[in-house]
Chains A and B, each alone.
Chain A
């Protein structure tokens, strides 16, 4: 479906994140081509697809982190620019240099930038918010730790704490479970489910197909183009997986994945 000339107003006003006809390219080859995506409110949506399918690019382009060639994005039915304060973005952990001179609390406070602006001094309230966010990810004892000394799982937790400090309605996470220990993975998924229960919407780029059914209620499968989107039970099917991953997944593997959620 190629619909290039559509007004933002016609996008689903109920959806926390609606995308129409999104195309992105880093060179001549498109990373994403005419992707339509409507995230269901109060859902936990996994974005899955093979390596290089454009999963991270989808989030980045939706947020204007990378320029888009075409397409519209609406956030809660309105333009991105006016709704940025309702979004918390968690980039890939590996996308920053953890040797940067900052401690854990400094990083979490960055989540309050939208509130503080250029010059306002950090207040007692701000510190309380940061402390609370750290407590939610079990890192309250690490506030003054140098970020370079953290393990991978701890780094992911403080990225999540920074997003929590933003007190957003829509959480966009890029591979939140990549390279973290089992305890952190469990802690993060518990937290995300709590967010969902509190009326937030969670969208995560996810690489581990075996946990899709257990962790998420909605899924969007992409491979440059959108393959399918909707509730996990309807979309996470053998046919769709084979379409998205091609020959990379054997049917037997897929059956096991489908079973994983129903033990």
Chain B
């Protein structure tokens, strides 16, 4: 099946992309605040409200399919779920993760029972409520897509305005409070954003998988950057790309739930990032470790040579030989000779500095492994040497 960009597909892709950006930005705060799991409780707690909203609308004589009513119902029950978690945490001695587990499963259980009841109602069979569990784009109306886009844009805007206050709170809550920041209000704002993303995403991603769109982008962004200031935009971009691409792919396979495809795309971004990201990726980490190991062996080997010992470890011997410090028969080359002498001299300098408490701070500039000339200037080294000579 070929991909054709109809108006409807473009609309859905645009909506899903915006939703992804909003989810990535919102999720970043939850992730930095170490409360990512709370998003899970919020999203699962939407189900009873969703069903309740449907039932109320049917009881009032409607078809029960109006999206506004369903979203309102889910927002109310998600807020109740959030209150329940906070209540359990503050009134009992339960930790937050335990409270989340209890609330999440109870609310979801109640929702599933209500959903089953609805499926057996005459109005319920065509309602397609089950599509809100995993998301679908097949039956999306223009109004639906517009509402999602507006909601997502609002969430993004609020998240952008609050990101500095949120980062500060996530790193150092006490300091934030001392500055006069209203930390409970900031936390509440973050919850409200999660709630808004969940509700806005019901139609496309569905309530079970929206949490993935909140968590995977920031976690992926963390692999790429060591600074919160960059994690926000990267997470937004990854979320947006996942939504856009996922919704596009979904138009090719209308039988598959859209939410699952979007989440799989996000998971793909994570997997690739996990392997290749330069900051914290697996490949980069492995390479850094190898490099570090080589430095340790090189230093150890040179020091051993300088002191006239034989190098027993095969890896060290091979390394020094490959780098031209020793010949195949184990005898030092000229280059090895001078490197070994330099390493030995550095070792003596470090020993001297270590014996003088006044130099502790000075010495802290050295990593204990590389040449001292990389940590200190020529003048500083000369100064050390003079002091050492005077001492001996």
Complex contact B174–A181 (CB within 8 A): no
A96 interface neighbour in B171, B228, B229, B357, Cβ under 8 Å: B171
Given contacts A63-B178, A84-B179, A95-B174, contact A102 B357 (CB under 8 A): no
Complex contact B174–A89 (CB within 8 A): yes
* A187 to B357 alpha-carbon distance, docked (Å): 13
Complex contact A63–B228 (CB within 8 A): no
Task: List chain B residues, Cβ under 8 A from A151.
Answer: 364
Complex contact B177–A63 (CB within 8 A): yes
Given contacts A101-B225, A118-B165, contact A183 B361 (CB under 8 A): yes
Complex contact B180–A81 (CB within 8 A): yes
Complex contact A89–B361 (CB within 8 A): no
B interface, size bucket: 20 to 34
Task: List chain B residues, Cβ under 8 A from A91.
Answer: 172, 174-175, 178
Name which residue of chain B comes closest to A88, CB basis: B178
* A104 to B249 alpha-carbon distance, docked (Å): 42
Task: List chain A residues, Cβ under 8 A from B228.
Answer: 100-102, 106
* Most chain A CB atoms below 10 A, which of B162, B168, B177, B357: B177
* Most chain A CB atoms below 10 A, which of B168, B175, B365: B175
Cβ < 8 Å to B, chain A residues 79-105? 81, 84, 87, 89, 91, 95-97, 100-103
Name which residue of chain A comes closest to B229, CB basis: A106
A interface, size bucket: 35 or more
| A110 at the B interface (CB under 8 A) | yes
Complex contact A118–B162 (CB within 8 A): yes
Task: List chain A residues, Cβ under 8 A from B229.
Answer: 106
Complex contact A65–B227 (CB within 8 A): no
A118 interface neighbour in B164, B227, B357, B360, Cβ under 8 Å: B164
Complex contact B360–A89 (CB within 8 A): no
Give per-residue flags for B130-166: 1 if the beta carbon is below 8 A from chain A beta carbons, else 0: 0000000000000000000000000000000110110
Beyond known contacts A84-B180, A100-B170, A103-B226: 6 more, CB 8 A cutoff: A91-B175, A100-B32, A101-B225, A119-B164, A151-B364, A183-B361
- Interface pairs (14), CB distance under 8 Å: A63-B177, A64-B177, A65-B178, A91-B178, A95-B174, A97-B34, A100-B228, A101-B32, A102-B228, A106-B227, A110-B168, A113-B165, A153-B364, A182-B357
Q: Which A residues have a C-beta under 8 Å from some C-beta of B?
A: 60, 63-65, 81, 84, 87, 89, 91, 95-97, 100-103, 106-107, 110, 113-114, 116, 118-119, 138, 141, 146, 148, 151, 153-154, 162, 172, 181-184, 187
